[in-house]
Structure 1
Amino acid sequence: MMVPAALLLLGALAAMLAPRLLARADWPDREPVVALWVWQCVVAAVLVCCALSMTLSAAVAWGAVRGHVFASAPRGVMDAYAPGTGGPWAATTAVALASAGVWSALMLAREILRVRAHRRRSRAELLVRAPELPGERPGGDRLVVLEGERPDAWWLPGATPRLVITTAALRRLKGGQLDAVLAHEQGHARARHDWLLHSSAALAHGFPQVPVFAAFRDEMHRLVELAADDMASRRHGRLTTALALVELNEDRGVFGPCATPQAHVPQRVHRLLTPPDRLPAAHRLRLTATAALVPVVPVLVAFVPGLRALG
């Protein structure tokens, strides 16, 4: 049967073409929130293609599976998905895709365990460096100030989130710069950017040979920072937010000629100082709606034989 093969081809096309199209477009930097949504829809479409292809291939290969998949479907629909010339390959395809699905689940579980262990260590260290005071509500949301020589601020997510800032950052940030940094970190927390980062990391680590997953991880790291920058700049101004970024990072060598892990900071500062024009609201709505339809396409492709049988 051709539907599982068509679904795999559709997923491969989405995985190859979407990253290239998004890399050539200039609007993701102008609308990072929309770009985050588009990337999620593209990856969801690739995963849906694989899941549907696996299910239909297993239904073609094994009658017991076919009986469960089409248990409530009319007789004509089951016949439309009956085994054809692709029967011998169907079992191999189903097993391969099922193995990939199990591997994805294992990678996600590993990422969850790794993140939880890291958070436990971070919270234990934070409790040692900033113990709770007598009478303080245990586990309550709070701003934690740490003694430190390097200016830094970060959000520690979890069931009891913490916004952590060092004393060096408090001394260096002036006026509204501190408020801009806090708004940036709160933007990460409110949008749950940590979920995007961990999910994309699990896919990239599990399938390093698949370029779309590596691009998804890299773009998530970049776009969540741009989205948080925009959230902070809307409340406290672009110049203030840019100056806060400079104050926090100028001692780390990110503005020099040598590449560093924070090499994207100069681009973020430049973007804040020379803001690109936002897309019109109607254009943003069209992009959002179009992206939402991308994962629906493989579902429609999978339903084509059944709809023909009913029609």
Structure 2
Amino acid sequence: MIGCLLLLVTVSLTAGVPVARRLNRAAWPEREPVLGLWVWQCLVATALLSCLTGLLLGMAAVFRTVRDSLFESAPPGVLAAYELAAVPAWATGLTLLLAAGAVWTTAVLAGRFWAIRRTRAVTRDRLRRRAPDLPGGLPTASGPLLVLEDEYPDAWWLPGSPSQLVVTTGAIQRLTDRQLDAVLTHERGHAGARHDWLLHLSAAFASGFPRIPLFTHFCERTHQLVELAADDTAARRCGHVTTALALIELNQHRGVLSCASSRGELGDRVDRLLAPPPRLRRRDRVFIATAAALTPSLPLLITLAPGIDALDWSATGGQGT
């Protein structure tokens, strides 16, 4: 059961204070928001895989039927390497705790996605009823662009099947063609990267496990970084100044806060567009991305290490080299 203890240490490091808070305080994700989102996702995946593999080892130790099913086709000596025969008293409690966590996680995610699916159709029908009749040749309410009759300038992406870009007549009247293109490109950036699923996942984990720093910071930083990533997408196509002016025009009536889908300050986003921070060096980006991608393999290595070691020992006939 040493593997379970190592997996618990992995969970503590990733989901607890050391790694999650350090990454939350780091400044480089604001320079590389896409890379920052990737690192956060890899950390969450590492914590979840650690819990899942720990649950499998715990169930194999506590329940003989599970142990027989998992190691039925394993070569001789592999089962003995995991030392599952003598179950310590804490193993049963740990297994029940992990099982309860797995059930709760499934319930939280299922409830979240069911609520999303239930409200999307209602929202879409409500918005279509607000869409004015457009002259011939312009996009209709069933097309990729939905125009709403509203004096307030606004634009957002409506996920679903099919997805739509929603823009108000106030935005069309206030923004120049170039600025409107920047706003729509920003929203297409959200759509192309499927930021809606990332936002829903982070919010579900944060609400389901509010005292876990990893999930709390993951939710907070995700809402910030998806907006910065979409800003960068718009700036590359339409220019940094045009995108900044479009954000200002689109949000003047809201005061200092940014649009409804963002939890950051509008001023910070505008300042970042007007004075873009330098990107990380290419080798640094590659190193961070590779290290993050390898992190979820850590719980798998911990879980498989005793079996691999037993196979190597068996292959060498138990002789040292």
The answer to which of 41-50 and 246-255 deviates more is 246-255
Is the contact made by 1:154 and 1:165 (CA closer than 8 Å) also made in structure 2? yes
**Partner of residue 319, structure 2:** none
> 2 CA distance for matches of 1:84 and 1:218?
44
Moved more, 204-213 or 20-29: 20-29
2:282 counterpart of 1:295: no
**Corresponding letter in the other structure for 1:267:** D
Q: Is the 8 A contact 1:254 1:262 kept in 2?
A: no
| Cα separation, partners in 2 of 1:140 and 1:72, compared to 1, 3 Å | farther
Pair 1:58–1:299, CA change in 2 (3 A): same
* Corresponding residue of 1:166: 168
Q: Would you say the 8 A contact 2:224–2:264 is kept in 1?
A: no
**2:24 aligned residue:** 23
- Which residue number corresponds to residue 96 of structure 2? 95
Aligned to 1:273: 274
2:110 equivalent in structure 1? 109
CA distance in 1, matches of 2:291, 2:141: 42
Q: CA deviation at 1:12?
A: 0.8
For this pair of structures, how many residues does the alignment match? 307
* Aligned counterparts of 2:269 and 2:218: Cα–Cα separation in 1: 19
Unmatched tracts of structure 2, length 5 or more: 313-321
Aligned partner of residue 75 in structure 1, secondary structure: coil
Whether 2:23 is the aligned partner of 1:5: answer no
Alignment of 1:1-311 (within 5 A): 1-16=1-16, 17-83=18-84, 86-130=87-131, 140-254=142-256, 262-311=263-312
Post-superposition offset of 1:21 = 2.4
Q: Normalized against structure 2, the TM-score is what?
A: 0.90
Closer/same/farther in 2, CA of residues 136 and 231 from structure 1, 3 Å limit? closer
Are the aligned partners of 1:60 and 1:81 in contact in 2 as well (CA < 8 Å)?
no
Q: Kindly state the Cα deviation for residue 68 of structure 1 after the two structures are TM-superposed.
A: 0.9
CA distance in 1 between partners of 2:256 and 2:141 (Å): 35
Q: CA contact under 8 A between 1:245 and 1:269: conserved in structure 2?
A: yes
What's the TM-score, normalizing by structure 1?
Answer: 0.93
CA displacement at 1:255 relative to structure 2: 6.1
Which secondary structure state, in structure 1, belongs to the residue aligned with residue 99 of structure 2?
helix
Q: Residues 147-171 of structure 1: CA distance to partner in whole angstroms, max 9, x if unpaired?
A: 1121100110111111111111111
CA distance in 2, matches of 1:237, 1:204: 35
Note the C-alpha offset of 1:306. 1.2
The letter for the 2-side match of 1:264 is: E
Counterpart-to-counterpart distance in 1, 2:74 and 2:287: 35
Distance 1:82 1:263, change over 3 A: closer
Instruction: Using the TM superposition, name which of 262-271 and 168-177 deviates more.
Output: 262-271
Stretch of structure 1 that moved more, 195-204 or 12-21 = 12-21
Secondary structure of the residue aligned to 1:117 is: helix
Identity of aligned residues (%): 48
Task: Show structure 1 runs of 5+ residues with no match.
Answer: none
Residue aligned with 1:165, SS: strand
Letter in 1 for 2:157: W
Q: Distance in 2 between matches of 1:251 and 1:304?
A: 59
Superposition deviation, residue 208 in structure 1: 1.1
Asked if 2 retains the 8 angstrom alpha-carbon contact of 1:173 and 1:247, the reply is yes
Note the alpha carbon deviations across 1:105-160, whole angstroms, 9 max, x for none: 11111111111122112111022112788999998542111111211001101111
Residue 26 of structure 1: CA displacement? 2.1
